[in-house]
């Protein structure tokens, strides 16, 4: 696998072809976003793709692309992997955890031809998938993980995590 770095952050990116933002004509700047599939009771307080900050994502549903940016080749001819770092917090049990995964990007459209952004899907078990596709994750035609619908299930902790607190009842 060829590992290509996505590097450089560019302010004000909207899939821009501006020479000021992306001087290399073989690259395109794309916004990044995330979608939470964890459930209720957990939040991704911040995440990044190869060091490019993506922001905060709720544990169920979450943000669209909008944080800027990573550079991708206009034409992808070899598999690409990225490093995703993220922090989760569970306020009901006062637990904060850091995570890291090296994962492939799933391309369904060439970056130079469009796409809605680069999306990180935060899945149960602290797994992630990264997709560059069109349309957006909320669309029924999105090829990646299905966008979370209401109502959110409670987050299911892993064996090495603090268990859910039992709801207290006062009688």
Q: Which residue has the higher pLDDT, 98 or 162?
A: 98
Q: Is 70 exceeded by the pLDDT of residue 101?
A: yes
Task: Give the three-class secondary structure for 112.
Answer: helix
Q: Is the pLDDT of residue 63 over 70?
A: no
The pLDDT score that the predictor gives to residue 22 is: 65
CB atoms within 10 A of CB 10: 17
Rounded Cα–Cα distance for residues 108 and 134 (Å): 7
Give me the numbers of helices (H) and strands (E) for the chain, helices first please: 0, 9
Question: Which pLDDT value is given to residue 146?
Answer: 95
Whole-Å CA distances, 167 to 25, 28, 46, 92:
57, 49, 28, 11
What secondary structure letter does DSSP report for 154?
B
Measure the CA–CA gap between 117 and 64, rounded to whole angstroms. Answer: 8
Q: Does an H or E element contain 98, and which?
A: strand 95-107
Q: For the residues of 10-39, what is the DSSP string, one character each?
A: -TT-SS---TTT---TTEEEEEEEEEEES-
**Averaged confidence pLDDT in the chain:** 84
Measure the CA–CA gap between 29 and 17, rounded to whole angstroms. Answer: 8
DSSP 111: G
**pLDDT at site 165:** 77
Nearest to 156 by CA among 35, 40, 36: 40
pLDDT classification of 41: cutoffs 50, 70, 90 = very high
Encoding tokens for residue 88? 């989760």
Q: How far apart are CA 48 and CA 23, in angstroms?
A: 23
């Amino acid at each position: 696998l060829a590992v290509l770095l996505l590097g450089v952050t560019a302010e004000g990116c909207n899939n821009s072809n501006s020479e000021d933002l992306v001087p290399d004509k073989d690259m395109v700047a794309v916004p990044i976003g995330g979608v939470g599939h964890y459930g209720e009771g957990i939040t991704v307080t911040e995440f990044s793709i190869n060091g490019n900050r993506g922001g905060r994502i709720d544990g169920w549903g979450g943000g669209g692309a909008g944080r800027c940016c990573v550079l991708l080749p206009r034409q992808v001819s070899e598999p690409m992997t990225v490093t995703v770092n993220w922090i989760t917090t569970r306020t009901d049990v006062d637990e904060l955890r850091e995570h890291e995964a090296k994962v492939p990007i799933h391309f369904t459209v060439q970056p130079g031809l469009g796409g809605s952004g680069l999306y990180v899907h935060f899945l149960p078990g602290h797994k992630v998938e990264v997709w560059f596709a069109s349309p957006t994750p909320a669309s029924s035609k999105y090829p990646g993980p299905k966008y979370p619908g209401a109502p959110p299930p409670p987050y299911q902790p892993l064996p090495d995590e603090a268990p859910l607190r039992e709801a207290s009842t006062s009688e």
